[in-house]
Structure 1
C-alpha cells in the first residue's frame, strides 16, 4: 500500500468515526485535514470518488453539522438558565418582597374589618411569600450552574413554586366570584360572602393544591449531568416523560383550564351586570372597581399563565419517544419553555396591586399608618440627636 492509499484509508476511517461520534472536536480535526464540504472530491480506499456519489460521506458530514447545531442550542439554553433565570428571579424576589411586605404590614396594622375578599387576598400574599422564599436557592444554583443542597430541598423548592402557581390561580378565581357577588349583593347577605365561608374555601384550596401536587415528588429531584455537576431539575425536564406528560395535562385541565373558564364566565356576568345597571348609577364609580379587578385577574391569567402551561406541555411532549424531534429542536423548545417560567411568576410582583383596587379604603389606611410610623421615627431620631447634643454640652461644661 503506497502513501496515497494509506492517506485515503486514514481519511475514510476518519469519516466513519465522524458519523458515529458526537464530539465537536473530532469533526473540526477532520475538517482541518481537508475533508470540508467545499472539497470537490474525497479520498476513498478504492480511489478518488466524486462528491455526488459519496452519500455515505455526505451523511457523515450532515451528522457532524447536526451535532454542532445541537451543541450550540444546548449552550444557549444553559446561558438562559444562568443569566436570564437568575436575573428575572432576583428582580421578582426584590420587588415581590417589598410589595407583599407592604401589603402584609397594611393588613395586620391597618385593616380591622376583614371581609371575604380580604381573606382571599391575604392568602394570595401568603402564597406569594412561600414562592419568594424559594428564589434565593434557585438564583444561587442557576448562577453557579450547580445545585449545592440536599435532594429534599430541591423537591420542596419545586413543590412550593408550583403550589404558589396553582393557589394563585384558584384565589384569583375566588376573587373574581367575590367581586361579582359584591355588585349583585351589595349588602353582603349572600352566604358565599360570609367570612366563615371564605376561611373554609381558603383552607380547602391549600389542601386541594397540596394533594394534587403530591405526585410531583415522584418526578422531581436532583440529577448528575455528564460534566459531573448536580442539577435540581425542573419538573418538565425530569422523570419519566410519558407519565410526566399525562400528569402535566391533568394539572393543566384541573388547575388552569377550568378556573380560567370560570373566571371568564364571571367576567362576562360582571360586564353584563354593569351594562344593564349603568343607567341607575350616576358615574358608577363603585361598580367600575370590581370590573377593573376582574379584568386584571383575567389579564394575569391569560398573559402570564397561558404561555407557561403551553410550553411546559410541549417541553414534556418533546421528551417522549412518540414525538421524533431533533436534539436541536428539543433544545429550542426548552429555551422557549425557560423564557415562559419567570413570566408566569411575575404574578407575585403584580398581585399586591389588587389590594389597592379592593375599595376598602386600604390605600388611605396604609398611607396614614405609614405617615404615623414615619412621624414616630423622625421624632425618635430628633430626641436621640438632641439628647446626644445636650449631653456633649454638659460634658464640655464640666470640663
Structure 2
C-alpha cells in the first residue's frame, strides 16, 4: 500500500490533457513529433520512425535502425509500429518485440484481448481501517464499486481482520481482492532471508495461511506481494528514479530472494485453491522486472532460473509516474503503451490495483483526474483485457481518499467517481 515517501510525484502527467473523445494514443512529452502513425507496417511503408526519432527499415528480410542491424533478424515478413514499440513477424508467423536491442517472443499486439464485466471499478482499503465492513459495503454500493482491495500481512491478526471484511463483503455481493503485504525484511529492516529457498518456504507458508482464511469467504483472486520490485534491497538505489525498463536497474545478488518469495506466495495460495488467480504487482514501467521473472532471468542477463507465472498482470501507476498508456522508458525515454506490451508478452488480464493523482494537489485536482483516468482505463477493457482499476484509496481523507477516515463522503472526488461510474456502468 502506498506511502508518500515511497513515490516521486513529478507534476501533472500527459494524461490530464486527455478529454473524453480524445484518441487514447497520443504523443507524450519527449516523443519525436515525426513518429510514424500508430499501426504503420513495412510493407506497405518503406520506413518507420519511432518515438525516439530512429528510422527503421527492412532489407532482404533483415531489420535496420538508422542503417545498423538490430539484434539478429532474418526472413522478416512484416515490421510493425504499435503502442510505442517495434514488432516483427517472420515467415514462420512468430512475433517479436524489440526491447533494449533484444527481440522477445510475443503475440501480435493488435489482437484484442477482452476482460469480462463485473470488476472494472474498485477501491483500496486496509485491514485496520476504522470503517466497519458494513460501512465499506455501503460506500462501495453508493460509488458503484464492486472490488475492495485489502492488505494482509503474514500473521494471524492481519489475516483475521482481512477475513472479517471479506466475509461481510461476500454476503453483500462484493469482491474482496487481498494483497499479501508480507515483505522481504525482518523487524529491524534487514533482509530477512539468506537464500531463494528460505524465502520460498517462508512465503509458501504465508500464502497457504492467507488462502485458508479467505477462501471460505468467496475470495478467488490474490495479489502476491506488494511493490517488492521497489524495495531498496531489489532496485538499485542509484536507479530508483528510473522506470524499470532495463534489467540493470535491479540488484542481481538479491533478485533470487524476491523471486523465491513471489513464487512461494503463489504456490502457497494454489496449494489451497488450485484454481485461484494470482497476480504480482509492478510499478512505473517495470517491464524488465516482469520479463526477467517471466523468463527466469537474472538482472545480469543470465538465464535458466525458475520462471514465475501469474494469472493476472497487476500494476501500480500514480500521476507522477506518467500515463500508463504512453509512459516513459526508464524514467526519461520515449513513451510506450505498457498494457499493450504486457498483453503481447504475457497474454493475461490486466489490473491497475493502485492509482491516484498527485496527493500534493488537493481534492479539486483529484476530482478532475478521476474521470479522465477512468475513461482511459475503461476504453481498454475490450482491447487489452483491462479488467479492473482499484483507486487508492477509499478512506484516505484529504490526501488520497474518496471519503474521510470515518467514511464521510469527501467531495468533489467522491462525486466525481460516483458520477463517472453511474454514467459508464460496468456491463
TM-score normalised to structure 1 length: 0.27
* Structure holding more strand per residue: 2
TM-score normalised to structure 2 length: 0.26
Larger radius of gyration: 1
